Structure 1
């Protein structure tokens, strides 16, 4: 091999040791190379030692081996994942490994990098990142991680039960956006949702025919909705199962007739298993990311609640405050009538129960594709209100509907 002095020192690795090929070259280059390895900073991890695997031999001596170029490349990309333009076309198997490495680098827990990093993966791999999200009773997590949650745009199931959303939470814009056109199951129970909140939730699909157009299962239990608000539900053309247990809706013949005529649904004599929340879970690559968010949120909450707790104990008002809060909760006094589960389901063409639980995942993709083709087309479902309410038809846009549309 011909060596030129212009190249300086040339080293080769033989049997794990570096050897200088051109001995006449100045030796200080070896020292600078060593310093580059030991002092080059990793992304938030101090010295660059993660390129090596340290082990012990049989004699007890410490030895190290260099990681593969593939692993080193993944680490480098993960450290700078927020600067990547796109992952479209990147193989799924490699992308899953890259996602795991980025998770180890805390890229999804850092508020500065998490939204961009999640957006990058969700745009390229959609439901593989997350297709089912369970945020049941995690209102604090929603408040702190709303920007990150908005990046999941291929969800098929979303559980927001007990999250204290009220009627005007910011997450409504995300739930009713075209980004969640694939959503099939939505659980909104125990959120203090009134008729006004239900109007806001259904405004995009009632007026613009988009947002939740593929919804098949809806849980509205333990919300103070009335018969007036049920009229908004007729805008869901594919809705097959509905839970309105422990609401302000009175179960009577008029209500049953409304669901039969306007929505093609009947009262279930037995509770539907889909509303037991036994199958609700977070599923996808980002499952552990959600768990990390919850751990972080719980730690912050403990730090913030401690002074408040001490103050309550000092003044002896902890018991009084708890009793007052319980008395303000409209679901606190549970009667025998409230224990009755009110589940409605849609009959299929043969008169049996519509089997949404068996073909939800297989039909979601086809349904979404058809929905994109039929936007602004076709059938406008009759939006007349139940006789019990005797209100004006929902097809006529009210001032409130116009205000809601302007907010989207």
Structure 2
């Protein structure tokens, strides 16, 4: 049989489905009709038909609807679509499923464009929550695709080895995520005071980004108490986890948290920092799983060139690089987490009494001795958290160009 043809047996006779030729238009000569129609036979695709068997065991076929055929065509060429804004959600859902079935989102040259097309039109329905906890290879390989999800409300990047200067920082403080992102988990990433300063720089200087952030997890990072001042720019922050950091628990920490951020210490663990509720949700949930499965099946990276190996050995960096690549991601054991001291802070409800919950109003001098604060300061601190002052500095053109790089 011809590989390009489709044969169907019906009532004991074999028929070839693809032997269909367009009839010439009546009233035109053969020469004129050849210029107005296709001379080659109409090649039908197998996916345009539905094949079934009847009770007698004969193969039956029926053509798909014109809508399904058009849907398959658009899904296979979705990178050429200008916009889907205005199309119903039901159409977008079926089109996304068809593109996923055609493995469109596994193609590096097409996937970012296709995902941005759906995200611009359907926002949170494409992906509203993304969990990449301890999945740093997936973040590195699909960083361009992940940046297209600009309607995330919950993002978990715990243990993704971000460090102090990762390109995802620019996306976290972008204007597209400013009105959506509510919960952010960046614990276990080796984030120091300098990294937190860089992350919040656009928010502190330009007053843009992270406008709706309410829950922040920076646990298990080498952060000191001085880094807390960089979080004053988050206007709606009401839950904070600093467990496993260099911050020392005590009355001084309670006082700093209250005066800087208006947060008080929680005796019990907050449910917001429980990983059991974190999951990837949206149309692209299976797409993220396909990325991880496809990445695990990829062949190992090629060995480094001899010149690069020599350079790494010369600068003494080869051992360090190998240790970083072979190191296991940071995974917290539940038993160890239960034994360690949790440092969860939250903002008490407005109008609630703070008797017994606010920290002791004492300050410390350079010699380490307690010093009672003045009466004015005590009255001001017990009333409400201090208001955040607006920046009075004026930026010139050079400063604006520098800030735009973040």
Establish whether residue 105 from structure 1 lines up as the match of residue 102 from structure 2: yes
Within the candidate set 381, 384, 388, 2:388 is matched to 381
Establish whether residue 33 from structure 1 lines up as the match of residue 41 from structure 2: yes
Change in 2 beyond 3 A, CA 1:19/1:215: closer
Establish whether residue 345 from structure 1 lines up as the match of residue 350 from structure 2: no
Corresponding residue number in structure 2 for 1:198? 196
Establish whether residue 81 from structure 1 lines up as the match of residue 82 from structure 2: no
Deviation of residue 33 (structure 1)?
3.0
Corresponding residue number in structure 1 for 2:367? none
Change in 2 beyond 3 A, CA 1:169/1:24: closer
Change in 2 beyond 3 A, CA 1:395/1:135: farther
Is the 1:108–1:289 Cα contact (8 Å) retained in structure 2? yes
Change in 2 beyond 3 A, CA 1:174/1:49: same
Rounded to whole Å, the distance in 2 between the matches of 1:153 and 1:324 is 30
Deviation of residue 255 (structure 1)?
1.1
CA RMSD, Structure 1 to Structure 2 (Å)? 3.9
Is the 1:246–1:338 Cα contact (8 Å) retained in structure 2? no
- Describe the SS at the equivalent of 2:99: helix
Corresponding residue number in structure 2 for 1:65? 62
- Describe the SS at the equivalent of 1:63: strand
What TM-score comes out, normalization by structure 2 length? Answer: 0.72
Deviation of residue 128 (structure 1)?
1.0
CA shift digits 1:117-140 (9 cap, x unpaired):
111111111111111111111111
Greater displacement, 216-225 / 59-68: 59-68
Corresponding residue number in structure 2 for 1:178? 175
Establish whether residue 304 from structure 1 lines up as the match of residue 311 from structure 2: no
Deviation of residue 299 (structure 1)?
1.9
Within the candidate set 268, 272, 280, 1:270 is matched to 268
Is the 1:205–1:235 Cα contact (8 Å) retained in structure 2? yes
Is the 1:137–1:162 Cα contact (8 Å) retained in structure 2? yes
Structure of larger gyration radius: 2
Within the candidate set 283, 286, 289, 1:285 is matched to 283
Within the candidate set 130, 133, 147, 2:130 is matched to 133
Rounded to whole Å, the distance in 1 between the matches of 2:54 and 2:198 is 67
CA shift digits 1:214-269 (9 cap, x unpaired):
10000000000111111101111100000000001111211110111221111100
**Equivalent runs, 1:309-324 vs 2, <5 Å:** none
Is the 1:245–1:338 Cα contact (8 Å) retained in structure 2? no
- Describe the SS at the equivalent of 1:142: helix
Rounded to whole Å, the distance in 2 between the matches of 1:89 and 1:381 is 41
Rounded to whole Å, the distance in 2 between the matches of 1:265 and 1:254 is 13
- Describe the SS at the equivalent of 2:232: helix
User: Matched residue pairs, number?
Assistant: 329
Deviation of residue 63 (structure 1)?
2.1
Is the 2:22–2:38 Cα contact (8 Å) retained in structure 1? no
Corresponding residue number in structure 1 for 2:205? 207
Corresponding residue number in structure 2 for 1:315? none
Change in 2 beyond 3 A, CA 1:79/1:380: farther
Rounded to whole Å, the distance in 1 between the matches of 2:254 and 2:25 is 96
| Structure 2: runs of 5 or more not aligned | 1-14, 31-36, 305-321, 355-385
Establish whether residue 158 from structure 1 lines up as the match of residue 155 from structure 2: yes
Is the 1:200–1:404 Cα contact (8 Å) retained in structure 2? no
Corresponding residue number in structure 2 for 1:9? none
Within the candidate set 92, 113, 116, 1:116 is matched to 113
Rounded to whole Å, the distance in 1 between the matches of 2:351 and 2:171 is 36
Rounded to whole Å, the distance in 1 between the matches of 2:218 and 2:193 is 11
Is the 1:203–1:404 Cα contact (8 Å) retained in structure 2? no
Rounded to whole Å, the distance in 2 between the matches of 1:153 and 1:339 is 35
Rounded to whole Å, the distance in 1 between the matches of 2:323 and 2:171 is 33
Change in 2 beyond 3 A, CA 1:121/1:167: same
Rounded to whole Å, the distance in 1 between the matches of 2:81 and 2:23 is 40
Corresponding residue number in structure 2 for 1:248? 246
